[in-house]
């Protein structure tokens, strides 16, 4: 049975070890047609995240996909310090080739707006793996283009789980709370994948060994990336595979339990900046609150090792 027509997507990202895994998953998945990659500062600075996007495309032989450099800082506050867990290069020191192409000269938001205005309304999805600064700027500066997005699937936030940069705050939303608030309040179709789900998706040593032995370059690279995501050599389970959950949801939403919640975003200056609150006056958002984690990992392996 032939595949359905691939879904046209833009990947908005700050690679990042788990971003890199998600991007490689998207690149091997025939269900996606990737129009471009837009970068944002987050895990590390914008020059490094942009270079890492190009390095991943060079590794995959997909330099037909353009890279557009986006926001170097949050909308209205200083950017976060780089996350040590991703290493000085942002991807755990895993060996990747240098980009074969320079990033495009057009700013990310201008390119994305033109793409949305050119393509039929509702046919372009955005898979958002980092702080939401680029999408917030699109909403605020190019509202006619923004309203043509099919949907945004974003990794971010915590609902019932403790945060990872504060009691209630998750890194992507904490890094630019004003941007998160603008996107949540925009009324655009938004699926949010919070820590409540991503913390359930962790790889075992056996999983990475299977990828390594598959003979598929992308699978072996993902195995290397995950191996750099184990906290210690003795640990048998990786850190959460946060960002690949965005691609896994887009591929197989039936693996996730989704609820519509009305949410507001804390934009204060305290440690709860970026925290999500269930609020009857908030904006309706589709939120994943459960996942069949073994099936999600099986799908990740299947996509990476298929012919």
CATH topology of domain 7-305: Inosine-uridine Nucleoside N-ribohydrolase; Chain A (3.90.245)
Q: Tell me the C-alpha distance between 156 and 242, whole Å.
A: 9
Contact assessment for residue 173 and residue 190, using Cβ atoms and an 8 Å cutoff: no
Summarised one tens digit per residue, pLDDT across range 182-213 is 999 999 999 999 999 999 999 999 999 999 99
Summarised one tens digit per residue, pLDDT across range 83-122 is 554 455 557 667 788 998 999 999 999 999 999 999 999 9
What is the share, in percent, of the chain residues with pLDDT greater than 90? 84
Average pLDDT of span 111-138:
98
The pLDDT, as a whole number, for residue 1 is: 39
- Exposed/middle/buried for 19, CB within 10 Å: 0-12, 13-18, 19+? buried
Summarised one tens digit per residue, pLDDT across range 8-55 is 999 999 998 999 999 999 999 999 999 999 999 987 899 999 999 999
- DSSP for 155-182, please give it: E---SSS--SSSSS--HHHHH-HHHHHH
Is 90 exceeded by the pLDDT of residue 240?
yes
Domain borders along the chain are 7-305
Average pLDDT of span 59-88:
82
Q: Which of 19, 25, 164, 28 is nearest to 92 (CA)?
A: 19
Q: Tell me the C-alpha distance between 213 and 270, whole Å.
A: 47
Average pLDDT, the chain: 93
Q: Tell me the C-alpha distance between 206 and 203, whole Å.
A: 8
Residue 279 backbone dihedrals phi, psi, to 5 degrees: -145, 125
- Exposed/middle/buried for 62, CB within 10 Å: 0-12, 13-18, 19+? middle
Beta bridge partners of 67: 37
Residue 37 backbone dihedrals phi, psi, to 5 degrees: -115, 125
Whether 242 is catalytic is yes
Strand residue runs (E) in the chain? 7-13, 32-39, 67-69, 124-128, 149-155, 190-193, 256-265, 276-278, 283-291
Q: What is the pTM of this model?
A: 0.95
The pLDDT, as a whole number, for residue 93 is: 61
Confidence class of residue 235 from pLDDT cuts 50, 70 and 90? confident
Contact assessment for residue 296 and residue 21, using Cβ atoms and an 8 Å cutoff: no
Strand residue runs (E) in 75-135? 124-128
- Tokens for 260, please give them: 């519509």
- Tokens for 202, please give them: 């962790």
């Amino acid at each position: 049975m032939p595949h359905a027509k691939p879904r046209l997507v833009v990947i908005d990202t700050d690679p990042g070890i788990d971003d890199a895994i998600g991007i490689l998953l998207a690149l091997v998945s025939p269900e996606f047609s990737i129009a471009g990659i837009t970068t944002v500062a987050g895990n590390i600075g914008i020059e490094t995240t942009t270079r890492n996007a190009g390095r991943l495309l060079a590794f995959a032989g997909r330099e037909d996909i353009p890279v557009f450099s986006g926001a170097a800082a949050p909308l209205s506050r200083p950017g976060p310090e780089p996350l040590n867990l991703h290493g000085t290069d942002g991807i755990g020191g895993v060996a990747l080739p240098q980009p074969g192409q320079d990033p495009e000269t057009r700013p990310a938001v201008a390119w994305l707006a033109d793409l949305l205005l050119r393509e039929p309304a509702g046919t372009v999805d955005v898979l958002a793996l980092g702080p939401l600064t680029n999408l917030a700027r699109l909403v605020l500066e190019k509202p006619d283009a923004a309203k043509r997005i099919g949907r945004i699937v974003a990794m971010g936030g915590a609902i019932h789980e403790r945060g990872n940069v504060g009691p209630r705050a998750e890194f992507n939303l904490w890094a630019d709370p004003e941007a998160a608030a603008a996107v949540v309040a925009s009324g655009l179709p938004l699926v949010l994948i919070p820590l409540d789900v991503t913390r359930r998706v962790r790889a075992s040593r056996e999983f990475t060994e299977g990828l390594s032995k598959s003979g598929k370059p992308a699978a072996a690279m993902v195995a290397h990336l995950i191996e750099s995501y184990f906290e210690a050599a003795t640990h048998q389970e990786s850190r959460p595979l946060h960002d690949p959950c965005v691609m896994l949801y887009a591929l197989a939403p039936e693996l996730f339990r989704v609820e519509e919640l009305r949410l507001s975003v804390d934009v204060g200056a305290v440690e709860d900046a970026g925290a999500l609150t269930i609020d009857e006056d908030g904006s309706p958002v589709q939120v994943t609150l459960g996942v069949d984690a073994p099936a999600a990992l099986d799908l990740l392996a299947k996509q990476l090792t298929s012919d």
